[in-house]
A and B are shown apart, each in its own frame.
Chain A
């Protein structure tokens, strides 16, 4: 008996984008206000989980063909690389750099290497959460 899930499926399609945008906003807000890589990653994972609840695991796998194990590895490499980069310039491990750049459209922006480290944290959190949920969900 297959039920008609038209309402939850349509709503999940729309709400997914809102949650994902909110996650990106929280990720970038983390430097001066509450937020950051960990919370942003969890919120992103919850958006994907909403899709999985509304559809099913296989459909979401075909829509988002991401190997989450590789995502965790990319995040770890990014975080380690950001931390180790300062050793090549003779500074101690984990020294961050920041400066103000005049970007073509955005104008004067402050770019900080801590954001790259945070991106690594973000990828690891999304990857680990999704791996846990998928491996539990695929058990018959």
Chain B
């Protein structure tokens, strides 16, 4: 992945120096040409194309914004209800993620979507302890985390 980005930058610089015209537009043209060459020769690389991962990051951001809006609306409905029917609870969520940055990202995403707060990471970093505002649908919460955020993060980190 990082090798592909470096190769692409190198090709862009090469294009710039070939035409002895050192401007930003020339660099961008060289970068795009290098991207075309790298996509054409993708069978040579052991890992995935880096543009795939960039796309996965964009998809994760869009998913996060969508979830943030939906969850905020649901919390708003909880707040303005005349009768407060909350069942707060803690539960343990076993995660498949291993890297430090993945766990940090997942915890931040869970915390930023209202209704759930990560309060603790277990000592072996295998499970998160989450406080949920309404425990009537814990299974649903676990499923939604698994199928949305964790899947998207795994999609980004897959080599």
B-binding residues in A (CB < 8 A):
2-4, 6-7, 9-11
Contacts and interface: CB of A to CB of B under 8 A. Distances in A.
A122 B135 CA distance: 53
25 contacts: A2-B123, A3-B120, A3-B123, A4-B120, A4-B121, A4-B122, A4-B123, A4-B125, A6-B100, A6-B103, A6-B104, A6-B121, A6-B125, A7-B103, A7-B104, A7-B107, A7-B108, A7-B118, A7-B121, A9-B100, A10-B100, A10-B101, A10-B103, A10-B104, A11-B104
A4 to B, nearest CB: 5
Interface in B68-123: 100-101, 103-104, 107-108, 118, 120-123
Given A2-B123, A3-B120, A7-B103, 14 more contacts: A4-B121, A4-B122, A4-B123, A4-B125, A6-B100, A6-B103, A6-B104, A6-B121, A6-B125, A7-B104, A7-B107, A7-B121, A10-B101, A10-B104
Nearest to A9: B100
Interface of B: 100-101, 103-104, 107-108, 118, 120-123, 125
Contacts of A4: 120-123, 125
Contacts, number: 25
Q: Is the interface of A mostly helix, strand, loop or mixed?
A: helix
Contacts of B104: 6-7, 10-11
Contacts of B100: 6, 9-10
Contacts of A11: 104
B23 to A, nearest CB: 14
A6 B129 CA distance: 14
Nearest to A2: B123
A9 to B, nearest CB: 8
Contacts of A10: 100-101, 103-104
Contacts of B125: 4, 6
Contacts of A7: 103-104, 107-108, 118, 121
Nearest to B103: A6
A130 B87 CA distance: 47
